[in-house]
Amino acid sequence: MTSPRSLTGFAWLSVAAAVITIGLKLAAYILTGSVGLLSDAMESLVNLAAALLAVWTLFFAAQPPDEEHPYGHTKAEYFASGAEGFLILGAAVSIGYVAVQRILEPRPIQNVETGLLVSVAAAAVNFSVAQILLSAGHRYGAIVLEADARHLLADVWTTVGVIAGVIAATLTGIYILDPLVGLAVAANIVRSGISLVRRSVLGLMDTALPPEEQQLIRAILDRYRERGVNYHALRTRQAGMRRFMSVHVLVPGSWTVAEGHHLVEELETEVRKALPGVTVLTHLEPLEDPRAWQDLTLDRSAADGARGTTGH
């Protein structure tokens, strides 16, 4: 499995892109005086903060497990992606605020051609880096890189909308179009921010693996039924780039401990090959023991109490 620390290079690439685009967009604003281009530059400041946060998160997530964090530190990624979501929402609010001010006091736009060329260059930088980060995020299962990529793509759409607003305002002389387009782009950014916050909350709540990955695990387990083996209490969860699953494996009571151990080792190896990086925990039980079929709940103590009150 790829270490979070080995992915920090991608995060530093995002930092470099943010610094470059901030300079380009501020230059475009100074040239034109467009509120849309100013708002675009403000969002890139958020991009820089988010990129620096991603660098810290990947470094922290790479720390090895310890006594206080025996399952590692990879959930730090969810805090970063959630923070990025809130930063995106904050950028949208700031854009909306400036846009409303310009709606109340419309102003002409200067040096349109030069300003737009600079903005297009900034958008091209963000789009290229976003594609690299998105690909790496999907390849390595790094939600913080994916969050950073989507943040940059939101910035690209902001720039596209702003450019459209500047062109429309210049061609028609209706300068209120510039801030109106800024408001529309801010609404789209809000949607992106809410999506990131939602994913982060689900990750912190130990949400199960995606259905297709669960189905892959079940397909492997089902093949062992042909050997007289059963299973239940399958549970999965994800923590950043790490995935976890646990399952109770039921084998014939006549088997020796060694036979049962060899089987679960074989099963765990097969699951890890199908889902690289997954941590597999198995609990071996005899098929014939009725108690083996009474431990399906996560809270075993509650289940034991319930059996005691019903006389089981």
Report the mean per-residue pLDDT for the chain.
79
More confident residue, 227 or 310: 227
User: How confident is the model over 209-256, as pLDDT tens digits?
Assistant: 888 999 999 999 999 998 889 999 899 987 666 788 999 999 998 999
Assess if CATH 1.20.1510.10 describes domain 4-204: yes
Does residue 203 register a pLDDT over 80? no
Determine the residue type at 2.
T
Question: What global pTM score does this model have?
Answer: 0.54
Please state the domain extents for the chain. Answer: 4-204, 211-310
Arithmetic mean of pLDDT, 270-299: 83
The hierarchical CATH code for the domain 211-310 is: 3.30.70.1350
